[in-house]
A and B are shown apart, each in its own frame.
Chain A
């Protein structure tokens, strides 16, 4: 008898454990989207091998598009999660940061001539200089947040307003075009490999951050600073350094995302590039179930959240939603997801469930 009762209880407990897991929210959202697409139109998931204009075999299909276009967001979500956890706020200047680092990369690649015949510097040098620029932006934000104790959203508002102007200033408002060649591989495909390169870059970043979190104390320290800054200081940590580091790491992520973005078009449009990507990145963190007020974090959940957002975008495009009307639908979905995962709503639902379970048993007793 007892054994049977235990067995009966265990699926409930397992359910509870799964429901309680942080990563459950993005997975549930993803499953919901997949299910919706399966019901409406199963051909959504078709992946076909085609040859692109350059004559290379390339996998095409909505799933590939999601993996391809979601990469920048996933890379940004890594850094954004760290910043959110350490500083208890978000960086809204990542879009502007992408514009700056992309502009710097183009400046190094093209030199003073906006339409050069060949690239003027090795790509790796351009990337490193762009990376340095993005890290400087991160360091600026980090210094304001960590040292001057300004709220992250306000501190990054500065670069948010100035970033695109600075990016335009770097290239004197010209739009340099990188000559065709290996630079376009980063945002497109490498000949012979049918999967878009951004996906591999994103995977590389994920592995890197996983290794860093596994073999260093960065993750632990970040969480402890986010949960209680003064007690972690009393325990010998340096909250200023940790917060600063989080912003610099986000800077590196921004540079990588900037490389992909610029490489996609081989040129840059200062006012449009990576527009509103900061909002998507913050949404990815929130969808991942991370508290936006800092503390505990789960990077895998954030990355999954980023792909959920891209999945949603692609799904909406498939239903012929215009790109400028897209935000309205996105907002509705986001609100539904956030309301469903709000602690108060969950408590209420749990209460309802208990009542539902208790009531029949009472009737039986009666």
Chain B
């Protein structure tokens, strides 16, 4: 009996699986789990989670991660990996901080520095990976080491930036009408987002369109899915790989600037472990490390899920620092196993 049931359910789900691409299937799982988690938190923990500002604060604090994770997803879709992004973010924020405070620079110059550093990393790593056939892991590992080392060479001590122009920009808040809430004093507080969030959402929108509707975007998927057949189809595989690293480097630069804008200081220990968070959110968002499967919207939800679970853990009273690490790892494990099981079942369903 039970085996018959399993068979029939397998057939049914096989039907659903067949009509979906890998990308959409994993994306759906991610979005559903995120909403279940957030609504669950609203119901069982209430309090802060009921205020819209709580959600916007997640966006505010994770804007930089969203941007860098977008770049990471593109590289992963193309079949590579970039673990230098955390280092680049730290280097960018430190360089900008030093430029603004010690060199008396302006914000525009700092932005140029950020873009320059990101582009330089992207171009060099992309060239080494694409045109010299060196493994992306090794190249970007060296990139990470280099960026981390350079950060301490630029300046050793952490410090806060006091540049007026910059502080004004940092404190710029975009209020969102209609989402405010009553504070404890009974005054009405507007809900707000920072500039970084706008940039992050724009990035997500742009690269969602690029991946879905442009030649370059489709080439990323083709190269990641099977570089051999992409080559046969006349796609310039090397150039595509190069572009993926270039975009990732550039986005790491932008992400670094946004991170700097949010945190307002330079420190060698900034953004430590950010590369792993970016990889984790890409994976939770349904991007596969083997390449060819992934979605930028999924990455956005990956970042949101990651920080939601952090918030849930800390507001559930599990204050000890180790719980955050353990729960994130547990969640990553859960998503990975779900992905693996789903893909295995899909393969079976397609075969039969």
Chain A residues with CB under 8 Å of B288's CB are 151
Chain A residues 79-102 with CB under 8 Å of chain B are 90
A-facing mask of B32-48, CB < 8 A → 1, else 0? 00000000000000000
Instruction: Look across to chain B and name the residue whose beta carbon is closest to the beta carbon of A148.
Output: B340
In the complex, are the beta carbons of A339 and B153 less than 8 A apart? Answer: no
A293 to B81, CA, bound (A): 13
The DSSP consensus for interface residues of chain A is helix
Chain A residues with CB under 8 Å of B330's CB are 162
Given the interface contacts A153-B137, A161-B328, A162-B325, does A344 sit within 8 Å of B320 by beta carbon?
no
Chain A residues with CB under 8 Å of B337's CB are 144, 148, 150
Chain A residues 282-301 with CB under 8 Å of chain B are 282-283, 286, 292-293
Given the interface contacts A325-B153, A331-B146, does A160 sit within 8 Å of B276 by beta carbon?
yes
Instruction: Look across to chain B and name the residue whose beta carbon is closest to the beta carbon of A169.
Output: B322
A168 to B143, CA, bound (A): 30
Q: Tell me how far the C-beta of B148 lies from the nearest C-beta in chain A, rounded to whole angstroms.
A: 5
In the complex, are the beta carbons of A331 and B323 less than 8 A apart? Answer: no
Chain A residues 119-167 with CB under 8 Å of chain B are 144, 148-151, 153-155, 157-162, 164-166
In the complex, are the beta carbons of B138 and A334 less than 8 A apart? Answer: yes
A322 to B151, CA, bound (A): 12
In the complex, are the beta carbons of B322 and A166 less than 8 A apart? Answer: yes
B-facing mask of A285-324, CB < 8 A → 1, else 0? 0100000110000000000000000000000000000101
Given the interface contacts A158-B336, A331-B149, A339-B128, does A283 sit within 8 Å of B138 by beta carbon?
yes
The DSSP consensus for interface residues of chain B is helix
In the complex, are the beta carbons of B323 and A165 less than 8 A apart? Answer: yes
> Can you report 9 residue pairs joining A to B where beta carbons are below 8 Å apart?
A148-B337, A165-B323, A166-B325, A168-B321, A169-B320, A286-B138, A324-B156, A328-B146, A331-B146
User: Is B152 an interface residue when CB atoms closer than 8 A count as contact?
Assistant: yes
A158 is contacted by which of B153, B323, B332 (Cβ under 8 Å)? B332
Q: Size class of A's contact patch?
A: 35 or more
User: Which residues from chain A sit less than 8 Å from chain B, CB to CB?
Assistant: 90, 144, 148-151, 153-155, 157-162, 164-166, 168-169, 173, 279, 282-283, 286, 292-293, 322, 324-332, 334-335, 338-339, 342-345
In the complex, are the beta carbons of B332 and A292 less than 8 A apart? Answer: no
A-facing mask of B316-344, CB < 8 A → 1, else 0? 00001111111011101100110111001
Instruction: Look across to chain B and name the residue whose beta carbon is closest to the beta carbon of A154.
Output: B289
Given the interface contacts A155-B336, A157-B276, A279-B141, does A339 sit within 8 Å of B325 by beta carbon?
no
User: Which residues from chain B sit less than 8 Å from chain A, CB to CB?
Assistant: 81, 128, 131-135, 137-139, 141-146, 148-150, 152-153, 156, 268, 273, 276, 279-280, 283, 288-290, 320-326, 328-330, 332-333, 336-337, 339-341, 344
Given the interface contacts A154-B279, A157-B276, A173-B322, does A338 sit within 8 Å of B142 by beta carbon?
yes
Q: Tell me how far the C-beta of A89 lies from the nearest C-beta in chain B, rounded to whole angstroms.
A: 9
In the complex, are the beta carbons of B152 and A322 less than 8 A apart? Answer: yes
In the complex, are the beta carbons of B340 and A328 less than 8 A apart? Answer: no
Given the interface contacts A151-B289, A329-B149, A334-B138, does A161 sit within 8 Å of B332 by beta carbon?
yes
In the complex, are the beta carbons of B132 and A173 less than 8 A apart? Answer: no
Q: Tell me how far the C-beta of A37 lies from the nearest C-beta in chain B, rounded to whole angstroms.
A: 21
Q: Tell me how far the C-beta of A289 lies from the nearest C-beta in chain B, rounded to whole angstroms.
A: 12
Interface core residue of A154, A162, A166 (most chain B CB under 10 Å): A154
In the complex, are the beta carbons of A166 and B326 less than 8 A apart? Answer: yes
- 20 other contacts beyond A148-B341, A151-B288, A322-B156, with CB at 8 A cut-off? A157-B283, A161-B276, A161-B332, A165-B321, A165-B326, A168-B321, A279-B145, A283-B138, A283-B141, A286-B135, A292-B137, A292-B138, A325-B149, A328-B146, A330-B149, A332-B146, A335-B139, A335-B142, A344-B131, A344-B132
